[in-house]
Structure 1
Amino acid sequence: GRVSLSNTAYLITATSENREPLFTHFPAACSAARCFEDATLFRESRMLAWVLMPDHVHWLLQLGETDSLGEVIGRLKFASSRHTNRALNRTGPLWSKAFHDHALREEEDLQAVARYIVANPLRAGLIKRIEDYPFWNAIWL
């Protein structure tokens, strides 16, 4: 049982199907990233920060009043699957069915969580400076 709490910030992790590193392909990563910036997918929810890694994504989003967390994540996964599969000239599942979520408590610092999220490529050794990684964003910039 997943609980969706209105106006609550959630840290979400979703992995690609079989942890396949699909997002090492630059056009595929660009296609997915555009979806994470598409406000129409969120309706009244909003994306606070995200980073796309080669085989997974981290989203920090604030849930709105009416949509459940599953509905918002479903729209994100559906749209990014459609566009990324087109960029890769492939069909089939892009994302694993499940996702991990953590509801942030009021005392947790959203900006600190966002910094942690966008520093993932640095910790993974993909880059030396976060400025060199193109697939992340945060509303505080």
Structure 2
Amino acid sequence: MSNYLRPHVAGACVFFTVGLANRRSDVLTREIAALRAAVRRTKAERPFVIEAWVVLPDHMHCVWTLPEGDHDFSTRWSVIKARFSRALPHTPRRASHEARREHGLWQRRFWEHHIRSEAGKRAAIRYCWINPVKHGLVERSEDWAYSSIHRDGPVDWP
């Protein structure tokens, strides 16, 4: 089994990419209410600040700031992924997924990057907001419904 070494920085600001196992699926946007409920419930139990978030059909990017004294983003992701998976109808699973008690919906890992500066944070937030344009889903970031740009983003940026 792989042993991933992740930084343990309490109160860190972290950029994440989390994807589905099937990169042709649209379940994240199709089942957005279940995803939002999973995030909301997890955030209530294990607080964190959402600096930015964008949900695309098959993956999502977000920037979180953890509370002072807390570095455990892995458990938060595990709980969010499990809650979302349990909210969906069961589908046939491979034996390896059953052995690990997985639904087979998600990629097993996620990508994270600790942000070390205010400029890095702004770049990560911008990346979240521009991602639907990059993937050809919309022409303007503001046109993508599943983005935090509607909460606090500028509407006059290129």
TM-score bracket for this pair, using the shorter chain length: 0.7 to 0.9
- Matching of residue 46 in structure 1 with residue 40 in structure 2: no
Aligned length: 135
Residues 105-116 of structure 1 mapped to structure 2, 5 A cutoff: 105-116=116-127
Given that 1:35 and 1:80 are in contact with CA atoms closer than 8 Å, whether structure 2 keeps it comes out as yes
The match for 1:90 is 90
Give the drift of 1:136. 1.3
Shift of residue 97, structure 1, vs aligned partner: 1.1
Matching residue within 24, 30, 38 for 1:35: 38
Post-superposition shift, 1:66? 2.8
Given that 2:9 and 2:71 are in contact with CA atoms closer than 8 Å, whether structure 1 keeps it comes out as no
- What's the counterpart of residue 101 of structure 1? 112
The aligned counterpart of 1:140 is: 152
| Offset of residue 109 of structure 1 | 4.2
> Matched residues, percent identical?
24
Alpha-carbon distance, 1:75 to partner: 1.9
Question: Within the alignment, does 1:15 sit opposite 2:19 as a pair?
Answer: yes
Cα distance in 2, alignment partners of residues 24 and 79 from structure 1: 13
- Alignment match of 1:125 (pick from 129, 132, 136): 136
TM-score, normalising length from structure 2? 0.72
CA distance in 1, matches of 2:10, 2:90: 36
The correspondence for 2:64, drawn from 44, 56, 61, is 61
Task: Give the aligned residue type for 2:82.
Answer: F
Query: Highest Rg: 1 or 2?
Result: 2
The gaps in structure 1 that reach 5 residues or longer are none
Deviation at 1:81, TM superposition (A): 2.1
Instruction: Output the CA distance in 1 between the equivalents of 2:76 and 2:90.
Output: 24
- TM-score, length basis structure 1: 0.80
User: What's the Cα RMSD here?
Assistant: 2.3
- In 1, distance between residues paired with 2:58 and 2:144? 15
CA distance in 2, matches of 1:109, 1:25: 27
For residues 23 and 97 of structure 1, the distance between their equivalents in structure 2, rounded to whole angstroms, comes to: 17
Q: Is the CA contact 1:48–1:60 (under 8 Å) kept in the aligned structure 2?
A: yes
Hey, what's the Cα distance between the residues in 1 that align with 2:10 and 2:34?
29
